[in-house]
């Protein structure tokens, strides 16, 4: 039973999160590094180039990598301090198993014994309850090679349909919307197109904090005359100097897009020729947005009418443009509709598939793009193939050397896996690179479901809040301890290079997974000797698919600073910009640039509905959640890096002075935010940069400080992304600091 073995405070005492600071070699000013390894940051989807400086088999410093074209040396504070995750006092150096009699709840055990126990429990659960009773949760911070292997491991070794990944919390709404409208899921343009745009439209993206390097692209466009429009319930740093700020009410983005399209049509700010030749479905969308007058749009979105009109005019009359969005519109129970609404105003403008005419989602996770293409998503096989499509199944089965019938069918999304735990259908779980007890909404439910598991095994390099529930923990590898590739937010496949070996019993994640396969007696297909071998099989498995990597090699990536997929053969240069006139793709086969048999893009009607849980008299505030610049996702790494903790030690509840006055709250007061799921007591920050009907809490912390105690588990019906960005809440002044303040450090 995956109950937490002892008090959290005792586990924290031994396993952290503790803060690491630079000491010894890392502070020594006279150190001459043994080598500089050109690789990439382990954090967000931009994957900035970086050099890690190694001395005595330890990463001791960073040096900007000026030649890498995307960031040209630029790094955010997370990139600068990422190296402090190595040689960390919390690092898991052995396998562990749950032991309530131990003071810290766990005892170290030999690696081989741990693997044997994992295999034996998987075998027992699957024999007793069926193959699907064992599920796999994977992560989009892993290299593409590992994500490919996880999908193969679940389907071919465990024969379970139940695998999904934490990209479910990140890019799936964008992916689903892009597939519906364009037939392909990838940023349509390289970031260099931002520089040539007349209008840059940013919806629901806190660019300066979540994708800091993109800031320079946006502002460089502005230096040369671009107008920047930012849509966000909060005035973020990128909004501070934008040309037009639209403070949308959380969860109302489709209404805005529909209102903009209404004005574009009314004023003939649309490209009729492009619409006629390259799209289908415009008439239905035009009829749908007809009732979206500017007055109605203003009432629903909460944005002043004159601002909506100005945005429509700038967008409508631009010669070139780039529209970007991120989780702000995607983390919604109608996230796919939000994305389709955004795409509709892009298609109506006709500005796509050309230089300076672009559209993209800003991918959040390190390998958010590559991690969603090659088979760890519950409904997908490598090459962005569909697990329900017989031809696709046959292709992948052939590469894997099995019969198509041996491949399981579609599984369910990661939240539904926990609902299956509740129903007793899933009894065992393997989790890698995923911290659901911090990152999933309504996380008290997740805690209860972890406790219900018969067997829970975690592969990770630190003991995450989720791993505290594990029966067995296997010590995995840090980003800098393995070779591989990832695919960036631009669709650029790049090389991750190994700087150092994993310490002690820790080892490359792909080796651990193969060791489990071997212990299960199902070694066939899991005898890769290197990530390069995995990549070569992945190339074959993706060949002919939409995400075609077959022409990409490690050497080619290194020669050209990355290769943009699709890249269908060795002589192909890759595809930085999609949808160019006259371009060929395997679906359209020359009929047009979009990935449908007729080569045309789809307008899709995007009906507006309010958030699943709207405000009412009892819970009158909208709660929205997000990130801060110094932390990343569930904080497993950044809440262990001293200088990043110092920058932002603990979450605060952000609210407007108008609301603070009503609630008699002053900056720095303690207050309790409450929803129908839970409560969370934090200090408040009173700022004029948030809507007065909205409160904001960053979500990087666990336990009593976790914003996801409050969030709702409502999901988009298509993408299954949870609605992190809008639920009903109330706020009241607390009597003083909560009990945890005296016991725990801010990051714990």
Partner 1 sequence: MPVPHHMQFFVDPNRCIGCQACVQACTECDSHRGHSMIQLDYIDRALSPQTVPVVCMHCDTPTCAEVCPADAIKRTADGVVQTARKPRCIACNNCVLACPFGVPKMNTDMSLMMKCDMCYDRTSVGKKPMCASVCPSQALFYGTPEEIEKLRPRSRPVDTFRFGHQTITTKVKMMVPRESVLQDFDVLGALVPARDAAFDPMLAMLDVPDCAPGGTDA
Using CB under 8 A as the binding rule, the residues of this chain from 653 to 692 that contact partner 1 are 656-659, 662, 667, 685-692
- Per CB under 8 A, the segment of 76-84, 105-113, 121-129, 153-161 that binds partner 1 is 76-84
Nearer of residues 235 and 718 to partner 1, judged by Cβ: 235
Cβ atoms < 10 Å from Cβ of 442: 21
Any contact of residue 58 with partner 1 (CB under 8 A)?
Answer: no
* 621 near partner 1 (CB under 8 A): yes
Examine residue 405 and tell whether it contacts partner 1 (CB under 8 A): no
Task: Report helix, strand or coil for 88.
Answer: coil
* Per CB under 8 A, 254 contacts partner 1: no
**Cβ 347 vs Cβ 275: under 8 Å:** yes
Binding flag, residue 712, partner 1 (CB under 8 A): no
Cα–Cα distance for residue pair 684/672, rounded to 1 Å: 9
The residue among 119 and 298 lying less far from partner 1, judged by its C-beta, is 298
Q: How far apart are CA 414 and CA 251, in angstroms?
A: 23
Residue 20 or 502 having the CB closest to partner 1:
20
Site for partner 1, residues 189 to 208, rule: CB under 8 A: 208
Starting at the edge strand found earlier in the chain, the sheet holding 484-487 runs: 484-487, 492-496, 563-564
The only residue of 237, 408, 544, 649 in contact with partner 1, by rule CB under 8 A: 237
Residue 66 makes contact with partner 1 by CB under 8 A: yes
Least distance (Å) between residue 236 CB and partner 1: 7
Q: State in angstroms the smallest separation of the CB of 63 from partner 1.
A: 9
List the one residue out of 406, 401, 375, 394 whose CA is nearest residue 524.
Answer: 401
Q: Considering only residues 2-31, where is the footprint of partner 1 by CB under 8 A? A: 22, 26-29
List the beta bridge partners of residue 621. Answer: 729
Q: Residue 608: which of 248, 101, 85, 153 has the closest Cα? A: 248
Residue 160 near partner 1 by CB under 8 A: no
Q: Of residues 274-303, which lie at the interface with partner 1 (CB under 8 A)? A: 296, 298-303
Residue 144 lies near partner 1 (rule: CB under 8 A): no
Region 302-331 residues binding partner 1, contact defined as CB under 8 A: 302-305, 307
Q: Please tell me whether residue 216 binds partner 1 under the rule CB under 8 A.
A: yes
- Does 647 engage in binding with partner 1 (CB under 8 A)? yes
Instruction: Tell which one of 37, 61, 546, 726 touches partner 1 (CB under 8 A).
Output: 61
Omega cis (within 30) before 726: no
Cα 415–419–420 angle (5° rounding)? 115
DSSP string, 554-578: HHHHHHHT-EESP--STT----SSS
Write the DSSP symbol of residue 153: I
Q: How far is the CB of 622 from partner 1 (least distance, A)?
A: 9
CA–CA dist 435, 452 (Å, integer): 17
CB of 258 or CB of 542, closer to partner 1: 258
Rounded CA separation 350/218 (Å):
21
Give the nearest distance from C-beta 561 to partner 1 in angstroms. 18
What does the DSSP 8-state code read for residue 4? -
Among 102, 131, 192, 215, binds partner 1 (CB under 8 A): 215
- Please pick, from the candidates 610, 649, 738, 746, the single residue that binds partner 1 as defined by CB under 8 A: 610
- CA distances in angstroms from 673 to 39, 623, 633, 667, 720, listed in the order given: 41, 9, 21, 15, 26
Cβ-based nearer residue to partner 1, 262 or 385:
262
Footprint on residues 78-107 left by partner 1 (CB under 8 A): 79-81
Verify binding: residue 723, partner 1, rule CB under 8 A: no
Least gap, CB of 686 to partner 1 (angstroms): 6
Contact present, 136 and 334 (Cβ < 8 Å): no
Q: Which of 36, 108, 116, 235 binds partner 1 (CB under 8 A)?
A: 235
Q: Is position 394 an interface residue for partner 1 (rule: CB under 8 A)?
A: no
Q: Which of 555, 616 has the CB closer to partner 1?
A: 616
- Per CB under 8 A, the segment of 441-449, 460-468, 650-658, 737-745 that binds partner 1 is 650-658
Length of the chain: 748
Q: Where are the alpha helices (DSSP H) in 387-464?
A: 390-400, 414-422, 436-439, 443-452
- The span from the CA of 147 to the CA of 139, in Å, is 7
Q: Is 161 in the site for partner 1 (CB under 8 A)?
A: no
């Amino acid at each position: 039973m995956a109950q937490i073995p002892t008090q959290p405070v005792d586990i924290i005492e031994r396993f952290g999160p503790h803060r690491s600071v630079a000491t010894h070699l890392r502070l020594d000013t006279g150190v001459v590094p043994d080598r500089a390894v050109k690789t990439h940051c382990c954090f967000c989807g931009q994957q900035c180039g970086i050099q890690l400086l190694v001395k005595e088999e330890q990463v001791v410093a960073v040096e900007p990598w000026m030649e890498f074209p995307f960031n040209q040396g630029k790094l955010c504070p997370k990139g600068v301090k990422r190296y402090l995750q190595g040689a960390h006092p919390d690092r898991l150096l052995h396998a562990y198993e749950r032991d309530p009699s131990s003071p810290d709840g766990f005892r170290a055990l030999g690696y081989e014994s741990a693997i044997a126990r994992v295999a034996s429990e998987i075998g027992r659960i699957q024999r007793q309850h069926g193959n699907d009773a064992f599920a796999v949760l994977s992560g989009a911070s892993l290299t593409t090679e590992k994500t490919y292997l996880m999908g193969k491991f679940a389907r071919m070794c465990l024969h379970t349909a139940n695998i999904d990944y934490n990209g479910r919390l990140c890019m799936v709404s964008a992916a689903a919307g892009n597939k519906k409208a364009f037939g392909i899921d990838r940023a349509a343009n390289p970031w260099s197109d931002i520089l040539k745009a007349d209008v840059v439209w940013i919806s629901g993206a806190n660019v300066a904090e979540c994708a800091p390097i993109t800031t320079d692209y946006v502002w460089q466009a502005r230096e040369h005359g671009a107008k920047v429009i930012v849509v966000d319930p909060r005035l973020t740093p990128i909004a501070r100097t934008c040309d037009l700020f639209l403070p949308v009410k959380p969860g109302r983005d489709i209404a805005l897009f529909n209102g903009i399209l209404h004005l574009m049509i009314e004023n003939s700010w649309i490209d009729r020729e492009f619409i006629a030749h390259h799209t289908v479905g415009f008439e239905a969308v035009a009829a749908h947005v007809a009732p979206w007058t500017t007055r109605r749009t203003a009432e629903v979105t909460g944005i002043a009418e004159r601002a909506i009109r100005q945005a429509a005019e700038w967008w409508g009359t631009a010669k070139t443009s780039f529209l970007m969005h991120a989780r702000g519109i995607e983390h919604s129970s109608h996230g796919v509709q939000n994305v389709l609404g955004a795409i509709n105003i892009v298609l109506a403008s006709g500005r796509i598939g050309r230089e300076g005419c672009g559209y993209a989602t800003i991918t959040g996770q390190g390998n958010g793009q590559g991690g969603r293409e090659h088979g760890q998503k519950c409904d997908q096989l490598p090459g962005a193939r569909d697990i329900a499509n017989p031809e696709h199944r046959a292709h992948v089965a052939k590469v894997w050397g099995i019969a198509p019938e041996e491949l399981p069918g579609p599984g369910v999304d990661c939240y539904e896996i926990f609902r299956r735990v509740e129903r007793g259908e899933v009894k065992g779980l393997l989790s890698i690179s995923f911290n659901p007890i911090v990152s999933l909404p309504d996380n008290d439910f997740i805690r209860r479901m972890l406790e219900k598991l018969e067997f829970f095994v975690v592969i990770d390099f630190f003991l995450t809040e989720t791993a505290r529930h594990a029966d067995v923990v296997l010590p995995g590898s840090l980003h800098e301890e393995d070779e591989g590739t990832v695919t960036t937010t631009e669709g650029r496949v790049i090389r991750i290079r190994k700087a150092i070996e994993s310490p002690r019993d820790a080892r490359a994640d792909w080796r651990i997974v193969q060791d489990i396969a071997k212990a299960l007696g199902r070694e066939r297909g899991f005898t890769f000797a290197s990530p390069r071998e995995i990549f070569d099989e992945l190339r074959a498995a993706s060949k002919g698919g939409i995400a075609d990597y077959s022409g990409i090699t490690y050497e080619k990536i290194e020669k050209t600073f990355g290769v943009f997929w699709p890249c269908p053969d060795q002589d192909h240069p890759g595809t930085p910009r999609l949808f160019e006139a006259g371009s060929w793709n395997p679906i359209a086969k020359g009929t047009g640039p979009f990935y449908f048999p007729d080569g045309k893009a789809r307008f899709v009607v995007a009906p507006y509905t309010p958030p699943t849980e709207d405000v009412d008299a009892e819970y009158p505030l909208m709660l929205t959640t997000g990130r801060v610049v110094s932390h990343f996702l569930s904080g497993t790494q950044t809440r262990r890096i001293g200088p990043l903790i110092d920058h932002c030690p603990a979450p605060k509840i952000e609210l407007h002075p108008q609301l603070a006055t009503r609630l008699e709250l002053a900056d720095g007061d303690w207050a309790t935010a409450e929803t129908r799921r839970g409560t969370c007591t934090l200090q408040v920050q009173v700022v004029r940069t948030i809507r007065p009907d909205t409160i904001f809490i960053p979500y990087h912390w666990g336990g009593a400080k976790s914003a996801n105690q409050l969030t709702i588990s409502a999901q988009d019906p298509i993408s299954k992304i949870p609605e992190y960005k809008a639920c009903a809440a109330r706020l009241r002044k607390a009597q003083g600091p909560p009990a945890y303040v005296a016991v725990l450090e801010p990051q714990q």
